[in-house]
Structure 1
């Protein structure tokens, strides 16, 4: 079993990890000279961004590989099909493994946001192409302005998102720690109830109150989020399935599609878009 610690428990002091600290801005505190400003950076080392906020709306996406964004007790996984929209002024932290190109676009606050809350965005091939093209153009030119308008027109929230809400209830702490440390942990709801000296119904209510999910759905989400990270880091799909507790490829595929809206094979096959000058 390959263990990948969740973002909040990573040791950012490791010699193999870079931690970045950025300022906290309120929405609109700094203005852009254009509607959208794009950037791309290849991360030579595993990198953490301590909690910060932008004066602009931000869209994060990947052409390949994975990353995470954490806001409060919620962690979203960024994948090639799924980007992340973060409204201006919202504090967030992030993680990206080494070798991944971090793509980002800052949107001026005068532009209507696609959502007033943090939201996953489906990165369709056309949107990916437009975002990449924007970085090849001279700002303020007719082509740049036209590309900005097209991006704003085609961008929309995703139907699915890979979001894990970590409950804070003391009762659930042993369960959360066990599953996040080892997503293949087979302990059932009833076994946890016995171990914790409570009832399965009490645990179910605690999960629903904080996450809106049942125990089983939360565990499945944690497993699939971990599996996506493994696949994004280059692990074989079957190995990732076993690592998160699925002996059957069909069971893993069913769970993966229920959480993400796509199959593991389709997720891995998502092609990058290469834009020429």
Structure 2
């Protein structure tokens, strides 16, 4: 994404929002380099997955979710899909900083209500991607109200800041099937179990067990989206039974892995 969003002008309070439809050409993935800008940004996939690295947060966005990036936060995104079809891939929304004050101060994944999706589709038809009149401004206001009230979803992982904890988290994220327990990790890091537990939760907002569950879920979504079977994914993530993986998937995402894998078929 370049530095300018509307000709040679930035967004202003007079032109506070830009809605852009993103189109796919059928390629399996596309990658954007890490960048930042004064505007807040939203990513909304309509097919495939979007993986976002923003600050110390990693998001995996399936269809129907919105990834929020606060102003000035360095971030990069990549789109993934085994069967991405040419056509509409999703939307991006840029917001002038004054509209971002009541949105989360950190990168987050949020649920999209049916009303928010409908509003976004109408906003995407604005000439130039910006509201041209008072009616357009009202659409924008209602959409932002929906996003301010949207529930955050546990589809993002916060990386701990301590170097030793960060190295541990990176190892778990790369190999979420690893079953190393708290006592073993504490021994590796030279800490007590209690210290490890306390520091990890204070820096990530999750217990190590919860963090590993989300890491497995993120990896599972990527594998399913790449065409792997539910059984293959469950076993590769270290689950003793496929039913355990299905139960976790349904509890967090509200659907089964099989239905998730078929959503873009």
Is 1:65 paired with 2:65? no
Deviation at 1:61, TM superposition (A): 0.7
Q: Which residue of 2 aligns with 1:46?
A: 29
Q: How many residues align?
A: 248
- SS of the equivalent of 1:94 reads strand
Match of 2:143 among 148, 151, 163: 151
Q: Following the alignment from structure 2 to structure 1, what is the Cα–Cα distance between the partners of residues 211 and 4?
A: 31
Q: Following the alignment from structure 2 to structure 1, what is the Cα–Cα distance between the partners of residues 126 and 54?
A: 33
Q: Which residue of 2 aligns with 1:122?
A: 111
Q: Which residue of 1 aligns with 2:198?
A: 205
Q: Following the alignment from structure 1 to structure 2, what is the Cα–Cα distance between the partners of residues 203 and 218?
A: 13
CA 1:171–1:106 in 2, change beyond 3 Å: closer, same or farther? Answer: closer
Match of 1:134 among 123, 126, 131: 123
Q: Which residue of 1 aligns with 2:155?
A: 162
Q: Which residue of 1 aligns with 2:11?
A: 31
Q: Which residue of 1 aligns with 2:234?
A: 241
Instruction: Give the alignment's TM-score, normalised by structure 2.
Output: 0.76
5+ residue gaps in structure 1?
A: 1-20, 273-277
- SS of the equivalent of 1:50 reads coil
CA 1:197–1:116 in 2, change beyond 3 Å: closer, same or farther? Answer: closer
5+ residue gaps in structure 2?
A: none
Deviating more after overlay: 141-150 vs 89-98? 141-150
CA 1:24–1:158 in 2, change beyond 3 Å: closer, same or farther? Answer: farther
TM superposition outliers: structure 1 runs of 4+ over 6 Å: 269-272
CA 1:61–1:114 in 2, change beyond 3 Å: closer, same or farther? Answer: farther
Aligned-residue CA RMSD in angstroms?
Answer: 3.3
